[in-house]
Amino acid sequence: MFELVKFINVNSSEQNSKEYLQALYQRLETLCDVLGIIIEKKEEILDSDIEALIAERQKRKELCPCRRDQRYVVRTGNHFRGYQRRSKMEKGIDAYIKEQFHLPPVDIRTYSPLTLAYIGDGIYDLIIRSIIVGKGNTKASRLHQETSKLVRAQAQSEMIDLLLPYLSEEETDIYRRGRNAKSPTMAKNATMTDYRKATGFEALMGYLYLKDEFERMVELIKIALGEEEEGKEQTF
């Protein structure tokens, strides 16, 4: 084998044909295979090189936060606009919306009870719809019927009666402010008492939502629904 290597080194040059050089290489490779010798030397990566590669990768991640977040591009006309999609919403829903739409911070105490009831009505309706839809696919008319049973003034009035023992002093105060607020309108098919209590219930929902206390809001709704439908199984 050493004689063959010496022969190759002495007699191989650019003037030799590709076929001739390939034949010499194959002969050397065959002999090395018999002896278990690896003739292709691959560059080894040392520990220091690995540490350097890790440090370089970490540096690129710090300079480009989009490596942690999913980034996608939307084309508008002849321009491309980049957006980042967070893998996890770290803040509450209201705080997240305000951040994304660059809305100024507002002191919740400046909101009137009817304003709290306005947003509370919407978020409570969304939760109830999510519950109803989550129980299975059915006709839209049936979904509307089941949702209406829980969002009407009478149902909300009954819920707040169940929830009063569980409310904190602050939550009770918000409910009373909403209940005592003078509204220019009145819900159809509801007594004045139920309507006022329902307005207080919605004001409480809106207050908890704007405070990013979504878990507390869901907790109270679960208590109300559990008391109202204890021992029953809803099916469509």
Confidence at residue 30, expressed as pLDDT on a 0 to 100 scale: 87
Quick one: tokens of 148?
Answer: 């209406």
Confidence at residue 182, expressed as pLDDT on a 0 to 100 scale: 87
Contact call for residues 35 and 1 (beta carbons, < 8 A): yes
Confidence at residue 59, expressed as pLDDT on a 0 to 100 scale: 74
Residue numbers of the chain with a pLDDT score lower than 50: 65-76, 78-87, 227-236
Query: Helix, strand, or coil here: 235?
Result: coil
> Residues 6 or more apart from 4 whose CB is under 8 A from it?
24, 27, 28, 31
Confidence at residue 69, expressed as pLDDT on a 0 to 100 scale: 45
Quick one: tokens of 204?
Answer: 């409480």
The residues annotated with a catalytic role in the active site are 121
Query: What gap in Å lies between CA 216 and CA 210, rounded to an integer?
Result: 12
Confidence at residue 83, expressed as pLDDT on a 0 to 100 scale: 46
* pTM exceeds 0.75: no
> Residues 6 or more apart from 149 whose CB is under 8 A from it?
155
Confidence at residue 172, expressed as pLDDT on a 0 to 100 scale: 96
Contact call for residues 174 and 204 (beta carbons, < 8 A): yes
- For the chain, what is the radius of gyration of the CA atoms? 36
Confidence at residue 86, expressed as pLDDT on a 0 to 100 scale: 47
Q: What is the pLDDT of residues 186-199, one digit of tens each?
A: 667 789 999 999 99
Query: What gap in Å lies between CA 136 and CA 106, rounded to an integer?
Result: 38
